[in-house]
Structure 1
Amino acid sequence: VLLTGDLPSPTDVPTGCRFRNRCPKFAALDEAQRGRCRDEDPSPSALAGDHNAACHYAAAVTVV
């Protein structure tokens, strides 16, 4: 995946999800969901096996 957008500044840490300016999912979200990304720092959650993601909208992965 080729990411676009600006890297967050380490001296001026943004509120909410620090990855949202480069997140491919963020553009597809509605305004309420984007607000959650801007306002709330996501907690890591287990997706599958030893994989975790700090994303409000990460989908669980089914291992086949």
Structure 2
Amino acid sequence: MRTGTVKFFNESKGFGFITDETTGQDIFVHISGLKSRELKDGDVVNYVESDGKKGKIATDVVVL
């Protein structure tokens, strides 16, 4: 489980990015990877980093 901050999340398009607190890397997040009902810019989250088709993605995202 990793921790990061939501850089931005576009609800209408269903995607955004989380900045990892350890590496500073931006990780793609899709609405299908959320365990919470909503995600807002600036939310601190826990997530699992997985390999996607185009790079790293966040799954099992939970707002802290």
TM-score, structure 1 length as denominator? 0.27
Which structure has more relative contact order (CA 8 Å, sep 6+)? It is 2
Q: Would you tell me which structure has more strand in proportion to its own residues?
A: 2
Q: Would you tell me which structure has more helix in proportion to its own residues?
A: 1
**Bigger radius of gyration among the two:** 1
TM-score, structure 2 length as denominator? 0.27
